[in-house]
Amino acid sequence: MGLSMNSKELKAIQTPLKEQYAKCPDDAIVSLNATGTVNIDNLTCRVESDVSVNGQTVSGLHPSAGGDGNFACSGDMLLQSLVACSGVTFAAVATAMELQISSTTVTAHGTMDFRGTLGVAREVPVGLTSVNLTFDVVSLESNEKIEKLIQLTERYCVVLQTMKNSVAVSSCRG
């Protein structure tokens, strides 16, 4: 997969990024995206990823944090989880509502300021600062039914609700 890296090499990659972000804060703001195609018949959602290796997603640093771009960053993976959960929930709700859906694509777009994660600016939050979820639905069903379908999808999507409700997370040493 990738070559091993030591502390000196990581600092050599990240120091110029940190200096650039301190000088030009807008350069640290990056858009991340994930898209999935919903299969109503199978109640599945196929999430597209440019960084899959043999059908597996491998995580790594985002290029804005010193990665080489060959692996999915945690933000990519979070958006992929949101797309996957939203897509599967959409398919299940559409089936339960007996709606005829020709095709659906779900896209999650997130914005992240890498000054936070690299410790360049303490006032900048670490992680995604906004997420936008879009449902591109092709159907002969009424707009009202599709709007209700999306509303119920949002209500019952585990990942979306977890993100919205900021669940308490703890960490410990095993």
Q: How far apart are CA 96 and CA 156, in angstroms?
A: 13
Q: Each residue of 22-35: pLDDT tens digit?
A: 999 999 998 888 88
Q: Report the C-alpha gap between 9 and 31 in whole angstroms.
A: 26
Determine the pLDDT at residue 104. 96
8-17, 29-38, 126-135: segment of lowest average pLDDT: 29-38
HSE-CB at 131 with a 13 A cutoff on CA atoms is 20
pLDDT 10s digits, 80-116: 999 999 999 999 999 999 999 999 999 999 999 999 9
Closest CA to 17 of 32, 3, 7, 27: 27
Give how far Cα 93 sits from Cα of 62, 140, 155, Å. 34, 17, 11
Position 1 pLDDT exceeds 50: no
This prediction has a pTM of 0.85
39-90 pLDDT, tens per residue? 888 887 888 766 666 667 778 889 999 988 888 888 988 999 999 999 999 9
Task: Set out the domains of the chain in order of their start, with CATH numbers.
Answer: 27-163 (3.30.300.20)
What whole-number percentage of the chain has pLDDT above 90? 63
Q: What percent of the chain is modeled with pLDDT above 70? A: 94
